[in-house]
Amino acid sequence: MRIYTVYQIIKISEVHLQMLNLCKNFGNFYGFKSFLLYICRGKKGTPFLSRQRYRTSRAVNMREKIIQKATDLFITLGFKSVTMDDIANEMGISKKTIYAHFSNKTALVKEVTVTLFNIISRGIDCICEENKNPIEELYQIKRLVMIHLKDEKSSPQYQLQKYYPQIAEKLKELQYEKMSECTLENLKKGVTQGLYREDLNIDFISKIYFLGANGIKDDAMFPTGQFPKKILFEMYLEYHLRGIVTAKGLEILKTFINNNK
């Protein structure tokens, strides 16, 4: 039995999760492994999982592996550039195996974009829950997004819009909903803490920030050779913050700019 599929097929109590996290955080591999085996077995030591559930868990695991590999290739090389054959060859599996989980490439692209969006969204939620000052919060979010998108060297956004417009439009809607919520809360917190100006129209600023963040992804306007994505996002974030910070906020902003050089 592959212990790393346990999360997908059983319910673990809050206490169990805490114990698992302790084992992982302190590098206790054997404790982690033993505890997983414990919760997977009945009182008499018989396997907790039926054959059907085991087969299901293997199928789920293969589906996740395909999504993970496809995400890596799509972000690195582009949504159009990567074929189903490329994914199969990289994974060392047959193309038939991929089609057993995804009816066509469009279905896989859709799943990849939604999965990546959810991962980044959960990461943003975790950052916001840390209750950092709003300027630091934006820099942390920017760093998180760039890590997952790998600096967007292959212009995946452009290829997604050109070859999968319906998926791109749906993704944009999801991004706007999440970014609007996050930005509004960030602006409110910044004003309350005296780091952002009190006279801001936060609804207007949040919409402008979203439009700008998407606009700078336009390769025709900002070619990667001239504007590397990492530097471009750094400049845009500084541009955004300089327009809304107070004198107190500006001092904090300068610290982050210096630390990111």
pLDDT top residue among 151 and 22: 151
Secondary structure in 3-state letters for 79-147: CCCCCHHHHHHHHCCCHHHHHHHCCCHHHHHHHHHHHHHHHHHHHHHHHHHCCCCHHHHHHHHHHHHHH
pLDDT tens per residue across span 85-134 = 999 999 999 999 999 999 999 999 999 999 999 999 999 999 999 989 99
For residue 160, the model assigns a pLDDT of: 92
| Superfamily for domain range 107-259 | Tetracycline Repressor, domain 2 (1.10.357.10)
For residue 66, the model assigns a pLDDT of: 96
Residues of the chain with CATH 1.10.357.10: 107-259
pTM score of the predicted model? 0.73
pLDDT tens per residue across span 54-95 = 455 566 799 999 999 999 999 989 999 999 999 999 999 999
